[in-house]
Amino acid sequence: MPPVTATLIWILVGLFAIGLYLSWTAGRLDRLHARIDAARAALDAQLLRRASVAQELATAGVLDPAASIVLYEAAHAARQAEEEQREVAESELSQALRAVFGEQQQVEVVREAPGGEEAANELAQAVRRVPMARRFHNDSVRAARALRRHRKVRWFRLAGHAPFPMAFEMDDEPPVALADRPTT
């Protein structure tokens, strides 16, 4: 075999290996973007569930009128917020929940109402699941961002036209009285 042919074969093998590696990297990036989409859907579901439960409690008549108004307005704002204002609205709902359920006494008032035990458990579960869902989403975003920062991804445009992933930053600290509450 002439040396030119051997060199050409090695170049083709090298190009094939590079193409295979780039294809694998693009597939990995695509899977990360799909994971971000799934995590965002789960986060949206948990945020909606938390706002819905808070709104139900605010209209149930078991809280004092001032607490009901604060909680209802924050939950309504969180449900109706545009995407650009969503993080702020969800943070305000977290603050309202901490203000209303900052003390165990308020949780006990809800528990003593008819159907209150179930409502208190549902709210406790909702406020605990939001931070977990947000953490999963932000971990996925962090992994995709790390991969997208590599030169090979930028130079070969392996991300395609996918938007740059953004983390969801909000105040998601649950009220102490609900966070410590065991659920059944």
Spatial contact of 178 and 123, defined as CB atoms under 8 Å apart: yes
Tens digits of per-residue pLDDT, 109-162?
Answer: 899 988 889 999 999 999 999 999 999 999 999 999 999 999 999 999 999 888
Residue corresponding to tokens 């209802």: 72
- What is the predicted pLDDT for the residue at 34? 96
DSSP conformation class of 174: P
Question: How confident is the model at residue 183, as a pLDDT?
Answer: 52
> Per-residue pLDDT tens for 54-90?
999 999 988 999 999 999 999 999 999 999 999 999 9
- Report whether 60 contacts 71 (CB < 8 A): no
On average, the pLDDT of the chain sits at 93
**Given this model, what pLDDT does residue 38 score?**
98
133, burial (CB in 10 Å: exposed 0-12, middle 13-18, buried 19+): buried
Q: 47: which 2 tokens?
A: 């945020």
pLDDT at 169: 97
pLDDT of residue 182: 57
- CA–CA distance, 173 with 97 (Å, rounded to integer): 10
**At a CB cut-off of 8 Å and minimum separation 6, what does 81 contact?**
88, 89, 90
Nearest alpha carbon to residue 173 among 131, 115, 114: 131
Show me where the domains of the chain are located: 2-137+144-154
User: Across the chain, which distance is largest between two alpha carbons, in Å?
Assistant: 91
| pLDDT number for residue 118 | 92
